[in-house]
A = this chain, B = another copy of it.
Amino acid sequence: MTDPTPPRPGSRAGRKASGAARRRTASTGARIREEGAPRVRLPRRLAPRKSPTQDRARETVEAILEAAVDLFSSRGYARTSTNHIARRAGVSVGSLYQYFPNKDAVLTALLARHLAAVESAIHACIPPLRDPAVPLRDGIRRLLELLREVHEADPRLSRAIEQQVGQMPVVPEGLAGYKRDHVATLAEILSTRPDVRPGNHALMAVLLAAVTETVSVVLVHAAPARFGRDEMLDEAVEALCRFVERPPGRLS
């Protein structure tokens, strides 16, 4: 009942006894730039406390984040304590607090990764969407494919994250504001392309963005068994295209 929660089989051996400490390959540190973290100014409350410099520490941070993914998505954010996370990561709470000032910061780190993935998916699709030579449909399909990929990476996590964001008392401006930017870009694209129907493009962009997000989530979470992956994608593309496309005027 007291939730012994043995470290998950896969990650990090459960060296309970203090003696059997970590012995890792001490390969010279690969100075990889912290991947997947968008350049955003985070408030002290949520910013990482200090960056790991040794490989050992990087592993610790990674294990913590993996454990957090696991627990947030299975038990929910509120029901997951920092002690849970640490234990599951095969790490002490103290170590967790070396790198994250508080629980929200752990979620924020996860959120940052997720948003970075979403952002890069969107960014990859802006050029084709801008290009009037590329059919609108193709750009939209590509975007949905990429977003689906992001959500598929860890469906439970992206669900948990997106739900929790709304609950966070402070959603860092930098992380939330990216949406506004993209909606603006989208509005501009809609106004430019000749194959988009006339109308209030700013408004259309707001709706389109919201619907796109929803649809990409549904693509992953709605009974993937009942409908084929591609079938669903086709229908989703259809929905978005029909909304914005200028009707050909001829042909059905």
Q: Given the known inter-chain contacts A210-B222, A214-B211, A218-B207, please indicate yes or no for A235 contacting B200, CB distance below 8 A.
A: yes
| Shortest Cβ gap from A71 to chain B (Å) | 13
Give chain B residues whose Cβ lies under 8 Å from the Cβ of A236.
Answer: 207
The prevalent SS among residues of A at the interface is helix
Give chain B residues whose Cβ lies under 8 Å from the Cβ of A218.
Answer: 206-207, 210
Give chain B residues whose Cβ lies under 8 Å from the Cβ of A200.
Answer: 227, 231, 235
Within 154-205 of A, Cβ neighbours of B (below 8 Å) are at 159, 163-164, 166-167, 169, 199-200, 202-204
* Residue tally, chain A, CB below 8 Å to B: 39
Which stretch (A87-95, A117-125, A145-153, A242-250) binds chain B? A242-250
A226 at interface, CB cutoff 8 A: yes
Give chain B residues whose Cβ lies under 8 Å from the Cβ of A242.
Answer: 242-243
The answer on a CB contact under 8 Å between B211 and A239 is yes
Option from B166, B207, B235, B252 in Cβ contact (under 8 Å) with A215: B207
| Shortest Cβ gap from A249 to chain B (Å) | 5
A62 at interface, CB cutoff 8 A: no
Give bound CA distance, A207 to B238, whole Å. 11
| Shortest Cβ gap from A231 to chain B (Å) | 7
Give bound CA distance, A200 to B167, whole Å. 36
Give bound CA distance, A88 to B214, whole Å. 36
A47 at interface, CB cutoff 8 A: no
Give bound CA distance, A215 to B226, whole Å. 24
The answer on a CB contact under 8 Å between A204 and B243 is no
The answer on a CB contact under 8 Å between A167 and B206 is no
- Report which residue of A211, A213, A252 has the largest number of chain B beta carbons within 10 angstroms of its beta carbon: A211
A77 at interface, CB cutoff 8 A: yes
A78 at interface, CB cutoff 8 A: yes
A79 at interface, CB cutoff 8 A: yes
Give bound CA distance, A106 to B232, whole Å. 37
Q: Given the known inter-chain contacts A215-B211, A218-B210, please indicate yes or no for A169 contacting B203, CB distance below 8 A.
A: no
Q: Given the known inter-chain contacts A78-B78, A204-B235, A211-B214, please indicate yes or no for A163 contacting B167, CB distance below 8 A.
A: yes
The answer on a CB contact under 8 Å between B203 and A235 is yes
A76 at interface, CB cutoff 8 A: yes
Q: Which residue of B lies closest to A249 (CB)?
A: B252
A76-B167, A210-B215, A213-B214 are known contacts; what are 4 more A-B pairs with Cβ within 8 Å? A76-B169, A206-B227, A211-B215, A239-B243
